[in-house]
Amino acid sequence: MYTKEQTAAWQEATRELLDRLSKGIDKQSVNSLRGVLRFHEYRYYVLNDPLIADAEYDRLYKALEKIEQQNPEIITPDSPTQRVALGLTKDFPTVQHLVPMLSLDNSYNAEDLLDFDRKVKEGAQLDEIEYCVEPKFDGGSISLIYENDMLVRAATRGDGVAGDEVTTNIRQIRSVPLSAAFSSIGIEQAEIRGEVLINKDNFSRYNESLIEEGLPPLANPRNAASGTLRLKDPKEVAKRNLEVFVYHLSFFTLKKEGATPSTLLTHANTLQLLWDLGFRSPEKEKKVFKGIAAVIDYCKEFEEKRDNLPYEIDGMVIKVNSIPLQEKLGMTSHHPRWAVAFKFKARQATTRLTGIEFQVGRTGAVTPVAKLEPVAVGGVIVSSISVHNQDYIREKDLRIGDQVLIERAGDVIPQIVKSLADVRTGNEKKITFPTKCPVCSSTLHKEEEEAVWRCINLECPAQVAERIIHFVSKDAMDIRGLGEANVRKFIELGLLKDIPGIYSLDFEKISQLEGYGKKSVDNLKAAIEGSKQQPLHRLIYALGIRYVGETTARTLAQAVHHLIDFRTLSLDQLQELEDVGTKVAESIYSFFQNGGNIALIQQLEKAGLTLLNTKKEIVTDGNLSGTTFLFTGTLTALKRSEAEELVRAQGGQILSGVSAKLNYLVAGEEAGSKLEKAKKINSIRIISESEFLQLIGK
Ligand code: IVH
């Protein structure tokens, strides 16, 4: 898309515009400003290799916005400011596709591919075929129509003949160019096919936000992408960071009648052309082979790499490279004869739902867990899956005895995709939600706007156990030797009944229990004693206040001198803290207004725990101040949490994902998609664990 010289020129123009920002940029520079912004969108969203800081991009973008506001007559539909739509989408009208969007025939093994090759050779009457092989992106298919270089329409696949028009939402995706120079090769109208997807990092982030809000996570990135395209609010679409890969020029008309441009005679060249026009096509991933044997090898090779890619693929697509030959081979009513999908090992499986167990969590939430006949999916045996809440069960219409389709996408927690209602025998039983707590029998409650039923008896043994387990857990107070099994055992034996009880355990009695030698009791004693010195943020996290995760706990710890100070903070004051919204503030507020919780804190202080914000945790003048880190893969010398502590102790910051803001990626063993992504951003330094240790002087 941009040659070396052009890249240098745009970068130069960027510097020049940034310099002029303070003096003000006038409307004469509008084209240069747009060009610069398009260039950086391309660097960021298509190449994954930004050349300026996000804040610099934002400043230039705001400058363009200002000029356009003052001179509305100069706005063009493909201006970078014109992605953002103002209003909500009313509906998604049905539109006819220019050519039907067919699906692909599937193959699952080498034999199937040999079979495909045989048929192609027969149809082509050739001894050897040239194939182009590329990833099969696992998202939702779309069609993009460009007329006179402008994007005029985007539609989903629908039934293949007609789909939903989703132009406004597609315009929010910055790897889709709003205009592209098709006219440079004489094309007037073009229809391009591609796949909308959400990458794994953005997907996990989105699922985490759902879970935090108490909503069920989505089963896979594919559903997240297709669901997002149907959102009415384009601003929400923009926030989800969808991406588009294009892989097919399905239709075009020429400005002047004449021969097809020679670039369009092979599929590989078409991908190259689309790439050159600024699209994200699998230009780097595709490979051309003569003969099917090499194709088979490449498919297998790619399957190995599957988990290291930043996005999901579910197979490879093998296409006859010559377009005239494609035309000669034609299609059946369902799929082209010149292409086939090679599907990777399934990450879905069907099994039977044999029952539902209701578990009570530390906040009293009653979670239904589906019990399944054990089945292997994506390399692990799954025998139970959380089904979140009553609404979820109703929506999926789950019944006991049902055959269910389950999926485990990459490292995502397994989910039930759907029940197979068509194969019911009539003996399936509806799932009834309990009205009483399955552990303590008190009546369950549900708040109006919530989907979760809760046991509100704070003394409920299930909650007590879960609260203690959370309190001692690794990321909280990290009391080794007092794991889940021990907590449950001590509760059962009456040795432990609440959190303060941890600090008055009767070690005499414990040492009489079977399996508790002097050494293990001494270790336990030391671990409990040691936990009294844990920093305040760990204690805050350990208290298990709803919606307060580790990050919020750190923010909170910085806000007070003593834990009890929270009793005096108002809702407004709490909301002023970073990342603390209404819901979180309300939860913190009510926690510290509760007498029982205050008594708990006082007991902990009496037991000798650190409730003071003794050491200032944000080091501003450390060796690593202003430097950002991210750890990925398995570390051997340190635990990840220890390594992160070391960074923070020297003033560095830990980021949650790979972006241009990241300075160092510490790659441990078997590092996956984060490493791959970081490799694409030149400014990130990738270091090993031992280099990291050197860096921090260990
Ligand atoms: S080519 C006429 N190439 O897989 C040929 N499809 O079951 C059109 N897909 O509906 C398809 N990656 O949504 C093609 N590199 C790729 C693809 C791809 C994903 C999807 C597409 C299609 C489905 C086929």
Query: Tens of pLDDT along 496-512?
Result: 999 999 999 999 999 99
Q: Catalytic site residues?
A: 136
94: left (phi over 0), alpha (psi -120 to 50) or beta: beta
Given a cut of 90, whether residue 626 has pLDDT beyond it is no
The structure tokens listed for 352 are 């039977």
Measured in degrees and rounded to the nearest 5, phi and psi for residue 626 equal 80, 5
Given a cut of 90, whether residue 261 has pLDDT beyond it is no
Given a cut of 70, whether residue 617 has pLDDT beyond it is no
Q: How far is CA 493 from CA 480, 488, 640, in A?
A: 20, 9, 35
Contact 328, 124 (CB under 8 A): yes
pTM of the model: 0.65
Give yes or no for residue 341 CB within 6 A of ligand 1.
Answer: yes
Give yes or no for residue 195 CB within 6 A of ligand 1.
Answer: yes
- Give 647's Cβ-side CA count (13 Å radius): 23
Distance 136 CA to ligand 1 centre (A): 6
CA distance 181 to 118: 39
pLDDT of residue 410: 61
pLDDT of residue 686: 93
For the CA of 134, the nearest atom of ligand 1: 15
Contact 49, 680 (CB under 8 A): yes
Given a cut of 60, whether residue 616 has pLDDT beyond it is no
85 compared with 51, residue with greater pLDDT: 51
Gyration radius (Cα) of the chain, Å = 29
pLDDT of residue 213: 72
Largest CA distance in the chain: 95
Given a cut of 50, whether residue 137 has pLDDT beyond it is yes
pLDDT tens column, 325-363: 999 999 988 899 999 999 998 788 899 999 999 999 988
CB burial of residue 662 (10 Å; 0-12, 13-18, 19+): buried
The DSSP code for 636 is: S
**Ligand 1, atom 23: closest residue by C-alpha:** 103
Comparing CA positions, the residue from 39, 75, 76, 31 lying closest to residue 57 is: 39
Comparing CA positions, the residue from 83, 52, 54, 55 lying closest to residue 68 is: 83
Give yes or no for residue 103 CB within 6 A of ligand 1.
Answer: yes
The structure tokens listed for 179 are 């205009």
Average pLDDT along the chain: 90
Following CA atoms 210, 211, 216, 219 in sequence, which dihedral angle do they give, to the nearest 10 degrees? 80
Residue to probe by mutation, ligand 1, list 99, 133, 138, 141, most atoms within 8 Å of CB: 141
3-state secondary structure of 353: strand
pLDDT category at 568 given cuts 50, 70, 90 is: confident
> Once rounded to an integer, what is the mean pLDDT over residues 405-413?
77
Distance 341 CA to ligand 1 centre (A): 8
pLDDT tens column, 91-120: 899 999 999 998 999 999 999 999 999 999
CA distance 644 to 632: 11
pLDDT of residue 620: 63
30 compared with 448, residue with greater pLDDT: 30
pLDDT category at 451 given cuts 50, 70, 90 is: confident
pLDDT category at 411 given cuts 50, 70, 90 is: low
Given a cut of 90, whether residue 622 has pLDDT beyond it is no
For the CA of 157, the nearest atom of ligand 1: 10
Which residues, 6 or more positions from 56, have their beta carbon under 8 angstroms from its beta carbon?
14, 18
For the CA of 250, the nearest atom of ligand 1: 2
For the CA of 331, the nearest atom of ligand 1: 2
Contact 645, 655 (CB under 8 A): no
Given a cut of 80, whether residue 409 has pLDDT beyond it is no
Give yes or no for residue 311 CB within 6 A of ligand 1.
Answer: no
For the chain, give the percent of residues with pLDDT over 70. 98
